Structure 1
Amino acid sequence: MEKGDLVSLEIVITLLREAMLEKASTAKGFLIDGYPRELEQGVRFEKEIKPCEVVLVFDVPDDVMTKRLLERGKNSGRVDDNEETIKKRLETFHNITQPVIDHFQDQNKVRKISAIGDVDEVFKQVEKVLDEVTKEDVTLKDAQVVFVLGGPGSGKGTQCSKIVEKYGFCHLSSGDLLRAEVASGSERGQRLNEIMEKGDLVPLDIVLDLIKESMIKNLSETKCFLLDGYPRELEQGQRFENEIVPCTSVLLFDAPDETMKSRLLERGKTSGRVDDNEETIEKRLQTFHNITQPVIDYYDKQNKLTKISADGPSDEIFKQVEKYLDSRPW
């Protein structure tokens, strides 16, 4: 600092981590004030320490901020509380911090607080946001989640329907949730539609938010959830368990490629789906094996994986599912 150099981000993140660990046993949460100032700071923090729950943006017009700082400057003694410097500081803030706001807005983590009025009135908005965040954290702690894996044509969708019918689990599909959000016409749905129209991947943070919100919505009916076709890759599973709740178990519907291919080709005769053709099916199967095998290996090592032989009539397959589900307290 004496040389006028920037402090390295590694040191800043280390100091933040150490301070959080020191207070972790007594703090209910952490407010990181004025951070991140630029996008890399936020990305690195979430990757190396913990994903943030929410981003509070105190939104004030430039003229109001200028007026406040000039008023403060009358007795603060600060050399930067003058009109010319304030203008530069505001420009710097907008140029550097707007990409941060946009990044977290895409993850549906930004909550804008209108900070023009009375301090107490502004705080009422803050209370509302924080009450929502803490409520979500508490309500899902007892949820029991089963990840349901299987290749295209493994019959996992059929088996999920049977589980719902007999055991009353809530069946969630990330694809269905994304499509429903787009169809709703919400602000988030419009952003999703733009992302999908460009052919870009939907950020995992949005997928996790949709799953979490749907779980909370259905919690009054059941605490048991089936996540159909999730996680497709390892990061999805790890992020879900870190940010929502650890999964109880993983059901893998294991069928030979030839069986899955035969089922999909048969379905293609009447489904009208453009991906139910031999060439596309081969690619989908290969993608499934390449991406999902690390997920299977990961949960197998944790002793959470149960393989269901999915090569046969659906009723025979379901008998294996029943045997597993009946052996556990739900």
Structure 2
Amino acid sequence: MFRTWNQNRSPESIAIQKSGLPFVIIFGGPSSGKAEVCRMIAQRLGYTHLSMADLLRKDAEVVDSARAKRCKMNTEAGMLCDSIDAHEILRENIFSNLDRKKPFIIHGYPRDPEQRTAWESDFGKATLVIVLECSDSVMADRTAIRSKLGTRAEDKPEVVHKRIQYYVKYTQPMLRDLQMQQFIMRVDGNRDIEQVYESILKLLQTYIK
């Protein structure tokens, strides 16, 4: 069945925009260190950390619905989730965490121009966008380690290769376009995770009040 975006903002979306809470989005290719550095920031500063991949897995495992079945099928196949499903899941989780009154740090969304349009329509512009610049060779090395240690479908080399291709084809052009409209901070993600963390921590302490 063909599915289209609902152009009408939901009560949740209106509440999210009215909250005035900061949104930090971390971008980077597969195995660039996004998840780990976001966890470290959340632990240090108390930010609400939302990982799109984790949210999709949780939704697929817990909720018995057509959406959950679609997410589970895509997750097990190592495929990207439907954009509309992903956006709805993210919106629900942002809304449910508004009472914490803490800045949000998010990774894994938006991934392409379509998702970016949905993000800005529903939530407004992100407060701060940070891109982890990581070489293909470093991402490949880290992916090899994760493949040996993990059992998740998305950690398989062939799946990671597809995710890198998607990042290059869709996410990077989206970021180039975004940079023409708002300031983007770029951090060297090839370094040790502690060094990356310290760089991002300084940016947050400077720009997020």
* Range of TM-score over shorter length: 0.7 to 0.9
Q: Find the aligned partners of 1:138 and 1:281 in 2 and give their Cα distance.
A: 36
Question: In the alignment, residue 267 of structure 1 is paired with which amino acid?
Answer: R
Residues 169, 222 of structure 1: 8 Å contact kept: no
**Which residue of 195, 202, 205 maps to 1:323?**
202
Residues 251, 306 of structure 1: 8 Å contact kept: yes
Q: Find the aligned partners of 1:313 and 1:302 in 2 and give their Cα distance.
A: 31
Q: Find the aligned partners of 2:161 and 2:142 in 1 and give their Cα distance.
A: 13
Compute the displacement of 1:216 (Å). 1.6
Residues 140, 216 of structure 1: 8 Å contact kept: no
* Secondary structure in 2 matching 1:151: coil
Which residue does the alignment assign to 1:193?
A: 69
Residues 46, 102 of structure 2: 8 Å contact kept: no
Residues 49, 106 of structure 2: 8 Å contact kept: yes
Question: In the alignment, residue 181 of structure 2 is paired with which amino acid?
Answer: Q
Alpha-carbon spacing, 1:313–1:184, altered in 2? closer, same or farther (3 Å): same
Deviations 1:162-217 (A, max 9, x none): 1101111111122322222232234xx34430465387975433322221221121
**RMSD value over aligned CA atoms?**
2.8
Which residue does the alignment assign to 2:145?
A: 266
Compute the displacement of 1:285 (Å). 2.1
Question: In the alignment, residue 194 of structure 2 is paired with which amino acid?
Answer: D
Residues 149, 253 of structure 1: 8 Å contact kept: yes
The residue correspondences of 1:164-313 to structure 2 (distance < 5 A) are 164-186=42-64, 189-194=65-70, 197=73, 202-273=81-152, 276=155, 278-313=157-192
Alpha-carbon spacing, 1:194–1:265, altered in 2? closer, same or farther (3 Å): closer
Which residue does the alignment assign to 1:147?
A: 25
TM-score (norm 1): 0.55
Compute the displacement of 1:267 (Å). 2.2
Q: Find the aligned partners of 1:160 and 1:263 in 2 and give their Cα distance.
A: 17
Q: Find the aligned partners of 1:268 and 1:206 in 2 and give their Cα distance.
A: 27
- Kindly name which structure, 1 or 2, has the bigger radius of gyration based on alpha carbons: 1
TM-score (norm 2): 0.83
Compute the displacement of 1:288 (Å). 1.5
Compute the displacement of 1:309 (Å). 0.3
Alpha-carbon spacing, 1:201–1:278, altered in 2? closer, same or farther (3 Å): closer
Residues 160, 171 of structure 1: 8 Å contact kept: yes
Stretches of 4+ aligned residues off by more than 6 angstroms = 198-201
Residues 168, 222 of structure 1: 8 Å contact kept: no
Q: Find the aligned partners of 1:145 and 1:251 in 2 and give their Cα distance.
A: 11
Alpha-carbon spacing, 1:313–1:298, altered in 2? closer, same or farther (3 Å): same
Structure 2 unmatched runs, 5+: none
The residue correspondences of 1:28-107 to structure 2 (distance < 5 A) are 51-53=7-9
Q: Find the aligned partners of 1:328 and 1:249 in 2 and give their Cα distance.
A: 8
Deviations 1:134-168 (A, max 9, x none): x6513532021112110111011111011101111
Higher relative contact order (CA 8 A, sep 6+): 2
Residues 16, 94 of structure 2: 8 Å contact kept: no
Residues 143, 245 of structure 1: 8 Å contact kept: no
Residues 57, 72 of structure 2: 8 Å contact kept: no
Residues 145, 225 of structure 1: 8 Å contact kept: yes
Residues 61, 68 of structure 2: 8 Å contact kept: no
Q: Find the aligned partners of 1:164 and 1:194 in 2 and give their Cα distance.
A: 29
Compute the displacement of 1:226 (Å). 1.4
Compute the displacement of 1:229 (Å). 1.7
Question: In the alignment, residue 296 of structure 1 is paired with which amino acid?
Answer: L
Alpha-carbon spacing, 1:168–1:250, altered in 2? closer, same or farther (3 Å): same
